């Protein structure tokens, strides 16, 4: 009899616990599964009552909300860690890019300097300075060449004029010599004839 009473009590307790448990699971609001933490808190605030400054919340709802909050915090923490890693990677990438920019700028400066300079007899000279010196030397050579050509032309003209004068002087001298010889021959003949005449007399 006592055993039957115990069995009935156990059966009654089991019937009370299991249907309630199933009912509490089926009565769990959908918002606690799909809503955000704020939406879940708003729901609990609306659906629970305050009695003497205490809010009565069902245990299964509290545990569900606690799990949801912890999952949200864990997810946010993981996202923060991922963002920190991303930020760290981005910073390392930026530092690497800055170093590459500095290196490229140095290479560009070197290339620009090489492009604008010229190695002449082992001395590095700026191209603008080299061009100025080169054009100055070319201009000086042109001036010397023009001056030399003008001097040569003037000397040639003087030489031609002198040669012409010499030819004229030669002609005059030949004519003078010829006339002088003829005059001397005439004088000699006249002198000879005069001597002959004087001897004949």
What pLDDT is recorded for position 190? Answer: 87
What pLDDT is recorded for position 27? Answer: 79
Element (H, E) at 119: strand 117-120
Per residue in 77-97, pLDDT (tens digit) is 999 999 999 988 888 889 888
Percent of residues in the chain assigned helix, strand, coil, to nearest 5: 85, 5, 10
What pLDDT is recorded for position 140? Answer: 94
Per residue in 16-49, pLDDT (tens digit) is 554 444 444 447 888 888 888 888 888 888 888 8
What pLDDT is recorded for position 199? Answer: 82
Per residue in 119-148, pLDDT (tens digit) is 667 677 777 777 888 899 999 999 999 999
Output the pTM of the full model.
0.39
What pLDDT is recorded for position 19? Answer: 43
Average pLDDT in the 177-197 region?
A: 87
Enumerate the domain spans of the chain: 27-113, 123-200
Contact 60, 23 (CB under 8 A): no
**DSSP-derived 3-state class of residue 50:** strand
């Amino acid at each position: 009899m006592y055993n039957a009473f115990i069995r009935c009590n156990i059966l009654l307790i089991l019937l009370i616990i299991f249907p309630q448990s199933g009912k509490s699971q089926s009565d769990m609001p959908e918002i606690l599964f799909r809503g955000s933490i704020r939406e879940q808190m708003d729901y609990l605030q609306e659906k629970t009552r305050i009695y003497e400054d205490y809010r009565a919340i069902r245990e299964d709802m509290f545990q569900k909300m606690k799990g949801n909050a912890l999952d949200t915090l864990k997810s946010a923490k993981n996202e923060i860690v991922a963002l920190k890693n991303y930020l760290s990677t981005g910073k390392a990438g930026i530092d690497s890019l800055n170093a590459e920019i500095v290196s490229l700028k140095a290479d560009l400066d070197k290339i620009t300097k090489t492009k604008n300079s010229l190695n002449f007899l082992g001395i590095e000279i700026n191209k603008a300075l080299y061009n100025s010196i080169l054009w100055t030397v070319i201009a000086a050579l042109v001036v010397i060449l023009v001056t030399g050509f003008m001097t040569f032309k003037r000397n040639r003209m003087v030489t031609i004029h002198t040669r012409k004068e010499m030819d004229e002087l030669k002609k005059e001298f030949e004519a003078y010599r010829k006339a002088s010889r003829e005059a001397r021959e005439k004088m000699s003949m006249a002198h000879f004839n005069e001597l002959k005449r004087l001897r004949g007399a």
